[in-house]
């Protein structure tokens, strides 16, 4: 299969019309390089995508935010260098001799890059002056995929985006959102402040809401599914109530479990790194899964990992 694909790809590639018939991971369609296949490992959802899913809905242009979010840096750049010709309506296989068009686009791109940054990407001059110019030229602004207005950073996604703000009120948490104590400009500081001042019930609701906002953002970006802020807030509210009622029931069976007994996460001491581990297995699945999270002494996320193994071991052995 692979050999057949590669032999075919020597002679031709797809030229993008609507992009409907070209499958992102299964067809040869990239331009401007020897390898016209998308090769990097991708999240499972990408295998079903057609090239159309990487374009804007109403006009023929790459959805840069989506492409950069889905693919590794070099693959994303290859995709964005692939030309889209608005007069080409239908997806069409083109042969070797028609490929010159790609090279001219690529060389024009290189020429433009040289003009903008006084160098091309293969020859970055390292003198302090030109280095700072390169930094500015290659800095790119990512707009929020949910509202298409704000510049997307953590603060925007969770607190400032119009959709996020409405979700907070739909979840009955506007008083937390607007509380003067929680207006830190750093998201992590805000969340720590909420965790140390609010009851565990409110903290649980906030955590559930943040997860729902994040989930909605990814669903919009990858699948173009849009939820109303009312639904997001309502979903967070219901999900918390379900979780809480189950855990309250379990808690009632264990005598003496009170608020004071709950263990709260604490930052590690200076020059220490804290690693939290959790291991679980689902009976009958034969799988043991593990999650690790490393944080530094200011509580900043450093690295994380999730993995599963086919072997069945007890959760005590797994954690060890
Ligand atoms: Zn937004």
- Provide the number of structural domains found in the chain: 3
Q: 156 alpha carbon to ligand 1 midpoint, in Å?
A: 6
Q: 177 alpha carbon to ligand 1 midpoint, in Å?
A: 16
pLDDT of residue 127: 37
C-alpha dist (Å) from residue 3 to 8, 10, 35, 143, 222:
9, 11, 13, 40, 31
**Does 268 map to a domain?**
no
Residues 132 and 211 in one domain: no
What domain range includes position 292?
274-319
Residues 20 and 120 in one domain: yes
Residues 171 and 215 in one domain: yes
Residues 11 and 128 in one domain: yes
Residues 253 and 288 in one domain: no
The whole-angstrom separation of Cα 278 and Cα 290 is 6
**Does 141 map to a domain?**
no
Q: Which residues contact 105 (CB under 8 A, 6 or more apart)?
A: 31, 32, 81, 83
Q: 258 alpha carbon to ligand 1 midpoint, in Å?
A: 39
Which residue, 136, 170, 189, sits at the end of a domain? 136
Residues 132 and 6 in one domain: yes
pLDDT of residue 285: 66
CB 104 within 8 A of CB 111: no
Residues 255 and 287 in one domain: no
Q: 158 alpha carbon to ligand 1 midpoint, in Å?
A: 9
**Does 266 map to a domain?**
no
The whole-angstrom separation of Cα 191 and Cα 184 is 9
Residues 161 and 253 in one domain: yes
* Residues, CB within 5 angstroms of ligand 1 (ion): 144, 146-147, 150, 161
Q: 176 alpha carbon to ligand 1 midpoint, in Å?
A: 19
pLDDT of residue 53: 87
**Does 148 map to a domain?**
no
Q: What does the mean pLDDT of the chain come to?
A: 74
Q: 165 alpha carbon to ligand 1 midpoint, in Å?
A: 10
Residues 183 and 301 in one domain: no
Distance of alpha carbon 195 from its chain centroid, rounded?
25
The whole-angstrom separation of Cα 157 and Cα 145 is 9
The whole-angstrom separation of Cα 211 and Cα 216 is 9
Query: Which residues is 295 bridged to in the sheet?
Result: 274, 301
**Does 40 map to a domain?**
yes
Which residue, 261, 289, 307, sits at the end of a domain? 261
Q: 217 alpha carbon to ligand 1 midpoint, in Å?
A: 9
pLDDT digits (tens, 9 = 90+) for 80-133: 888 787 777 888 776 544 344 444 444 444 444 444 444 334 333 333 433 333
Which residue, 73, 102, 136, sits at the end of a domain? 136
C-alpha dist (Å) from residue 99 to 7, 10, 24:
17, 12, 20
The whole-angstrom separation of Cα 54 and Cα 222 is 9
In a structure prediction context, what are the per-residue pLDDT tens digits for the chain, which is 320 residues long? 444 444 344 456 778 888 888 888 777 778 765 667 776 655 556 667 888 888 888 778 888 888 887 777 888 888 888 878 777 788 877 654 434 444 444 444 444 444 444 433 433 333 343 333 333 334 455 788 888 887 888 899 999 999 999 999 999 999 999 999 999 999 999 999 999 999 988 999 999 999 999 999 988 888 888 889 999 999 998 888 888 888 776 666 554 445 555 667 888 888 888 888 887 766 666 677 778 888 888 888 888 888 776 665 555 565 56
**Number of other CB atoms surrounding residue 235 within 10 Å:** 20
Q: 147 alpha carbon to ligand 1 midpoint, in Å?
A: 4
**Does 221 map to a domain?**
yes
């Amino acid at each position: 299969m692979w050999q057949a694909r590669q032999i075919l790809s020597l002679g031709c590639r797809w030229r993008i019309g609507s992009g409907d018939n070209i499958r992102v991971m299964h067809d040869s369609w990239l331009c401007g390089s020897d390898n016209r296949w998308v090769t990097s490992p991708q999240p499972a959802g990408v295998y079903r995508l057609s090239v159309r899913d990487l374009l804007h809905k109403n006009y023929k242009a790459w959805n840069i935010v989506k492409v950069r979010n889905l693919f590794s840096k070099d693959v994303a750049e290859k995709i964005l260098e692939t030309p889209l010709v608005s007069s080409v309506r239908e997806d069409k296989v083109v042969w070797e001799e028609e490929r010159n068009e790609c090279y001219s686009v690529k060389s024009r791109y290189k020429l433009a890059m040289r003009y903008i940054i006084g160098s091309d990407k293969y020859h970055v001059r390292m003198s302090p002056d030109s280095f700072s110019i390169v930094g500015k030229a290659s800095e790119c602004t990512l707009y929020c995929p949910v509202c298409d207005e704000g510049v997307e950073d953590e603060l925007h996604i969770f607190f400032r985006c119009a959709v996020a703000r409405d979700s907070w009120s739909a979840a009955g948490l506007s008083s937390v959102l607007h509380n003067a104590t929680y207006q830190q400009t750093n998201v992590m500081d805000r969340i720590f402040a909420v965790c140390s001042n609010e009851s565990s019930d409110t903290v649980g609701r906030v955590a559930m809401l943040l997860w729902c906002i994040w989930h909605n953002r990814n669903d919009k970006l990858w699948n173009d599914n849009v939820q109303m802020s009312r639904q997001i807030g309502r979903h967070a509210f219901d999900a918390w109530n379900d979780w809480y009622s189950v855990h309250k029931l379990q808690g009632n069976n264990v005598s003496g479990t009170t608020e004071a007994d709950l263990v709260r996460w604490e930052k590690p001491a200076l020059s220490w790194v804290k690693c939290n581990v959790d291991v679980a297995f689902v009976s009958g699945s034969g799988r043991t899964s593990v999650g690790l999270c490393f944080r530094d002494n200011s509580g900043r996320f450093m690295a994380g990992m999730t993995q599963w193994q086919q072997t069945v071991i007890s959760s005590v052995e797994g954690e060890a």
